[in-house]
Structure 1
């Protein structure tokens, strides 16, 4: 299904969303009764492997029907081959701007989920710098409707300004500031962002406020659109251009693994924005896709497609105890889901890598 079919034109760029970053191999353990204890061995009741890191965002975007281009280094080991195959052949992500690095091993993250939380251990080395592209190669970043940029304190990324200068709408994502400074001025590229999407803890630290909604208003002084995710309390957004605000509560689900949920939220919000949806509908769609993702394990392969969104919507409409107001909140799905034709089932995180074909 193409959620942008109604807004596409003959002169539009082929790429809907461009992103760049590092792909990890994620190994996820679930069903742990408690956090690992020093000097003991813990057994998990579930395990899965899937591409992680920037692959979480790329997969989430592609599963929502957006034409997604990813520029990333891949190791020339079996982990790298697996991640490249899962993204290119399994999800249809365009990897023409990616590269394979001889002798560089793929970064790995082990994630342990328990009591609704997760603990991660990662290992990897920076990929060697890429040689300048020969004359005539595809331009990077490519012309695209949008870009998703992971902003880092003290890191200047020239490609963000280049993409914005070419007309791409930039959506800024951010992680925990390990330096502890929490200085908005240190986020290189923020000035080029149309939207900035931190979680509540990050937003309050960056703005020196004690309320996520107050933080969103303060951030809206720096970016056209501030979106703050509040976990079980939903999400809140402020559009500085129009003065509009919107808040949508979270959907209550039993969370198995929260890995990648933030990436899925951003992907849903980007999709709704590019489709021209109202602000509240964008928040609702983003929250819904994130809620569906945490019910499966694995960061990238837990991202829902339209088939799963449609299955959820059919279920809630047929339930006798549903709040009519809640159903109206997702009424925008009525016109969208009849065209859903994604094959079922979606690929899921497998407990191993490289099953041999019979």
Structure 2
């Protein structure tokens, strides 16, 4: 198993943590780990595929997916991001590594290429604002030699974990012990128990961000807001996302609550929107913003992401945020007025990032 040298985030990006930085701080803002997939996305389908027929999509793209969605979203918002993941020893794995390291400036020094292991792949089909996915892959073999991960994650301001029913992951407790603020989301509970007691790493979390369905199942409540209040008894900050209704949060340390409605957009593909939301919330939290501003910013970044197809490549950066702010409806300018202090005045908009319809062109497109 081999590793490669990684680069830090590229200079010239807006740094939301700039005023907080000092020479003694960790070199990493956010650490995360998980499985990187190659995502192949079809969009522009008129309906779900029908058995025994062939469907043609009007759009197609390829990009790193899985945990790469979150890593890319964090990096594009200016956070120094470190990812520990296994990469396949194939063209797919090489493409994903280069896209994340060279394209996004994500630190992959704790990642590895596994000889003879092929990359996991997900095919996603987007239609009618929903998606259907088919995935294939095998669990990567564990590292054979000594190394700092998973028992010694790097010192970082924060870490993002995806909780699942079962025994806790040792790296989460170690990251918390080393001073990282832990932010977590959660996936569907295949066991059907929906028992918070099966999420031992929740005790290490500063913030927990489930969606409304997950939150209500875990708390046995009938209302997302009641679910958030119940979760706040278990974790300092509980955030419940409510789809088109927006999001609601409770900070049990201060007693503060906040609710921000969603921004109405024409959604093309929801892939990765949840990851982008968490990345926006982490950014605002590390920057020390008020709770309502964190919800608003997270919702904005998620809304921008669903207007493009693909997971990681639809994640917005500050140029996209700046473009939206310059053209934002008057009715929203009060709620998002905090962006005035963040978005560089007169910054030239950059081209939108889009997934490309191939794994990689041999020659740059002119």
TM value normalised by structure 1: 0.95
What residue in structure 2 maps to residue 244 of structure 1?
256
Query: Counterpart of 2:360 in 1: which secondary structure?
Result: coil
| Alpha-carbon distance in structure 2 between the residues aligned to 1:149 and 1:220 | 18
Deviation, 1:346, is 5.0
Aligned match for 1:164, one of 148, 157, 176: 176
Partner of 1:336: 342
Q: CA deviation at 1:338?
A: 1.3
Mind listing any 5+ residue stretches in structure 2 that lack a counterpart?
1-13
Match 1:82 to one of 74, 85, 95 = 95
More displaced 10-residue stretch of structure 1: 289-298 or 347-356? 347-356
Give the distance between the partners of 1:209 and 1:42, measured in 2 at CA: 41
Specify which of 260, 263, 269 is matched with residue 257 of structure 1. 269
Deviation of residue 310 (structure 1)?
A: 0.5
Q: 1:313 to 1:134 in 2, by over 3 A?
A: closer
CA–CA distance in 2 between the matches of 1:176 and 1:342? 41
TM-superposed CA distance for 1:131, in Å, is 2.3
1:347 is displaced (CA, Å) by: 3.6
The runs of at least 4 aligned residues of structure 1 exceeding 4 Å deviation read 339-343
How far does the alpha carbon of each residue in 1:286-323 deviate from its partner, in whole angstroms, 9 at most, with x for none?
0000000000000000000000000000001xx5xx32
Deviations 1:3-57 (A, max 9, x none): 0001112211010000000000000110111111111111111111100000000
Q: Partners of 1:254 and 1:87 in 2: how far apart?
A: 28
Please give the per-residue CA displacement for 1:130-184, whole angstroms capped at 9, x wherever unaligned. 124258x998410000000011101320000000000000001111111111111
Deviations 1:207-248 (A, max 9, x none): 111110000000001000000000100000000001000000
Partner Cα distance (1:346, 1:5) in 2? 25
Which of residues 258, 279, 292 in structure 2 aligns to 1:280? Answer: 292
Contact 1:21 1:54 in 2 (8 A): yes
CA distance in structure 2 between the partners assigned to 1:347 and 1:172 by the alignment: 27
Aligned residues, how many?
351
How does 1:1-358 map onto structure 2 within 5 Å?
A: 1-133=14-146, 140-316=152-328, 319=329, 322-323=330-331, 326-338=332-344, 344-357=350-363
Give the distance between the partners of 1:222 and 1:282, measured in 2 at CA.
20
| Distance in structure 2 (CA, Å) of the matches to 1:342 and 1:266 | 27
SS of residue paired to 1:86? helix
Distance 1:343 1:62 in 2: 18
RMSD of aligned Cα (Å): 1.6
Q: Distance in 2 between matches of 1:125 and 1:217?
A: 39
Distance 1:239 1:253, change over 3 A: same
Equivalent pair of 2:81/2:107 in contact (CA under 8 Å): yes
1 CA distance for matches of 2:357 and 2:112? 27
Gaps of 5+ in 1: none
